[in-house]
Amino acid sequence: MAFTAPPMVRLLRSLQPSLRSRLLLPLVFVIAGLTGATLLVVRHSTETQAQAQIEQEARNAILTVQAALNQRELILSKKADLLAMVAYMRNGDSSAIDEASDDTWQSGDCDLFAISDAKGKVLSVHSRAVGFSSANANELLGHSLKANRSSDWWVYHGRIFQIVLKPYYGEGSLLGRVVVGREFSDKDARDLASISSSQILVYANDATILNTLSSAANPSAVEQLRRTTRRGMVSLGDGPFFAMSVPITGGDTEPGISLTVLKSYGSALAALDESKHLLIALGIGALAIGGLFVYVIADRPNRPSGCAGRDCGR
């Protein structure tokens, strides 16, 4: 069977060598354009997938942190139930708080205890926070009761406590409430950051309470992050991050506490850079091979493969 060249190749063969070379150049440009467009589409798709992956990882980190905080709240709730039972048995006597704070089994997971009367006045409080008084507890408990919360977060002089409130009753009437809390410390934040493979920031109103970022992070950028949107890319001095924030306390009551999870974008950017170099190499290779292929085909004699003698080309 005779080999029939494509029309474009037959046209190139029929031209003079100089004219053929001039026509090959635009064809090479077309190949380069198509190759470049393909590589750009592939790179854009890769960047989109990388961003979607980092966003999903940030959501997963948020869920991990929230699950850990819910577990802490469950433990506090059980401690509060026991303390409310003791308070009921002692008719609201403050000695129930004294006993709980001295009991290593109770205080191992808790570092704040308080008891109030039915009107919400704190009768006694024990805390490891230096200077934390009944007046401070009264103010914070008032906010929690106003918001009608059975669990809450209290902020005192740059320290943050996760607390649970439990009422106790006698003869069908409210006798008072007990409060059991645990400080959310730097160590707790670091542990959660390690579990969720992320960095954690905790904001209370206009202040940064906890920060697991390295010292290389720009403090002004950290504060700027507090005032920005709930999600997006940020640069904090030691690399790019994807930030996602969620409120810890709901509603408009004070204090407004939010938690921000930061997922490092450095590994994703490194992978994108590697793919960019690979795509550039592939583009140059495709351009060189395509141009050479077109030139060889166009310069090849117009005869079928394997024919010989006068019958060739008939």
Residues 6+ apart with CB under 8 A from 118: 173, 174, 175, 176
Whether 147 contacts 105, CB under 8 Å: no
Answering whether pTM is above 0.85, one says no
Compute, in degrees rounded to 10, the torsion defined by CA atoms 220, 226, 228, 230. Answer: 140
What does the pLDDT profile of the chain (314 residues) look like in tens digits? 554 555 555 554 554 455 455 556 666 677 667 767 776 776 777 677 777 888 888 889 899 999 999 999 999 999 899 888 888 888 877 777 776 666 644 556 788 899 999 999 998 898 888 788 889 999 999 999 998 889 999 998 888 999 999 999 988 889 999 999 999 988 999 999 998 888 888 888 777 888 888 765 666 666 667 666 566 777 776 677 888 888 887 655 566 788 888 887 766 556 556 666 666 776 677 667 766 666 665 555 544 545 544 455 44
User: What are the domain boundaries of the chain?
Assistant: 49-268
Q: Which CATH class, in words, describes the domain spanning 49-268?
A: alpha beta
Q: Is the separation of the CB atoms in 263 and 58 below 8 Å?
A: yes
Q: Which two tokens stand for residue 161?
A: 């406590």
- Of the candidates 135, 128, 136, 134, which has an alpha carbon nearest to the alpha carbon of residue 110? 128
